Amino acid sequence: MFENEFTWGKAVAENTQDDFHEKYEKALEDVKNDLNKEYPIIINGKELFLEKKFEVKSPSDTRIIVAKFPLASKEETINAIKSAKEAFHEWSNTPYQTRAKIFQECADYFSKRKFYLCALMSFENGKNRIEAMGDVDEAIDFMRFYAYQLETNKGFSKETFHPNPKEKTRTILKPYGVWGIIAPFNFPSAIAIGMTTAALITGNTAVLKPASDTPLSSFEFAKTIYKKLPPGGINFVTGSGSVVGQTIIQSLEVDGIAFTGSREVGLSGFKKFTETETKPFISEMGGKNPVIVTKSADIENATEGVMRASFGYGGQKCSACSRVYVQNEIADKFIEKLVEKTKSLKIGLPWQKDVFLGPVINKAALKKFEEASELVKKDGQILTGGTVLKDQEHENGYYVQPTIVTKLSPDHKLTKEELFLPFLCIYKYEDFDDAIKLANETEYGLTAGIFSKDPNQLEKFFYEIQAGTVYANRTSSATTAALVQSQPFVGWKHSGSTGKGAGGENYLQQFMRGQTQTRCD
């Protein structure tokens, strides 16, 4: 059976939060002793240290060098792809039970080290301890759930019925070959490991390229798993997207791509990868996620759910809430309460216990925030936030205020474009049907939420909303924090390319292709 790791949730349920914090603080000291180390890439089962390298600096305090990684070239990336291709035959012929066991063991190892990995992530990408633990937990869940799925479906091989008893028929799903895995910075453990596990556990080999802002979390996975596979089964290559990423996407030797990132990069990658061949390109490409708040909503719960969905990890989640539509009758009370809660959020070093919001990821994100804030001053109104924090406490990191804005036109670029920032646009509405229409007026369709006590409105919302992962009256977060198995994470429209959600029972099948086998007596 599969069971979610759910570390913080269990701590709350069992009233052991103090124990959680104690373990995190201890792990934090261990991580501090491991900062500023040099790490290799992994190709063909060998760890390679290169002369050219780059520094991974903490966005919380750029004076802290988290790690140093090789700046791989096109040649090294090609060697990684070649190694993966050569390893495919042996790995794909490894019994599915063996493959499942390897990832179960890796998940168990991660579970034992989860507080260290969690503290490491706080330095690497600026998540507070609870957000970081959720990320590590999700990586563990992906490994265990996909192993569970593989075993439950007996390697995705089964007999089929044929009316002629002399014909014995069977269907089987088989791996494609080499998969390129291109991962984002915001979930450097969960998304990178989840996509790579799905490719590997189904018998493919992989070349993993992590985001250059956050390579260390997924390196922890690669170094744990690579010795358990044939040499070249997994290759870990760091470097720029314009070199490593493009080489993977342009290679005729790569049989599939799993990508999470922006719509712009995802669509251009898809076009290039399938330019001359039809090959699978599994992508999740962001969102512009709405929440509808009706006059029957519990305002306390609605503001809490929206605040957490909008500003958890600084809005740097594909699932973050960035648009809210509030019915006129309660709009002023809702806005007043939401602004009050937002102003009370503690912003600072994410490894400190009382901090809710750490930094945005890098200088480019900081600049994008400044540009958006200036645009609102011209075209709308800032209710709270809109400022880059440059005081003594925040001067060495990329800190911004969580921002709530209003009075923008419904078709304004800030309402349409994904910002990946702690930036929330609020609109008022009169009629519920209009709210659903406005919520659906986006090229994205990842997540959406509603707060209402009217069962008819809830049913209408679930029936008409154009998004793949939707929630009603969810105080813990109106649009984020999907749980593996329970809430497969799937995007519609430009938010995803396949309509099959990560962490769901249909996800693994995308990494394989079907074969029908017939034996005649």
How far the first Cα of the chain sits from its last, in Å, is 38
Listed residue (495, 499, 497) closest to 442, CA to CA: 495
Q: What is the DSSP letter of 185?
A: S
In the set 284, 304, 321, 418, the catalytic residue is 284
Which burial class, exposed, middle or buried, applies to 236 when counting CB atoms under 10 A from its CB (0-12, 13-18, 19+)? Answer: buried
Tell me the torsion sign for CA atoms 331, 335, 341, 347: positive
Residues 6+ apart with CB under 8 A from 480: 308, 309, 312, 317, 319, 320, 321, 447
Count Cβ atoms below 10 Å from residue 275 Cβ, excluding itself: 9
In the set 76, 118, 124, 318, the catalytic residue is 318
Give the separation between CA 350 and CA 126, rounded to whole angstroms: 6
Give the separation between CA 63 and CA 61, rounded to whole angstroms: 5
Give the separation between CA 223 and CA 41, rounded to whole angstroms: 9
* CA Rg value for the chain: 23
DSSP secondary structure letters along 470-491: EEES-SS-SS----TTTS-B--
Give the separation between CA 111 and CA 140, rounded to whole angstroms: 7
Q: For residue 381, give the H/E element and its range.
A: strand 381-384
Q: Show contacts of 455-458: CB within 8 Å, 24+ apart.
A: 457/294, 457/296, 457/432
Query: Has 318 been annotated as catalytic?
Result: yes
DSSP secondary structure letters along 193-210: HHHHHHHHHTT-EEEEE-
Give the separation between CA 77 and CA 82, rounded to whole angstroms: 9
3-state helix, strand, coil in the chain (%, to 5): 45, 20, 35
Give the separation between CA 28 and CA 48, rounded to whole angstroms: 28
Q: Tell me which residues are annotated as active site.
A: 284, 318
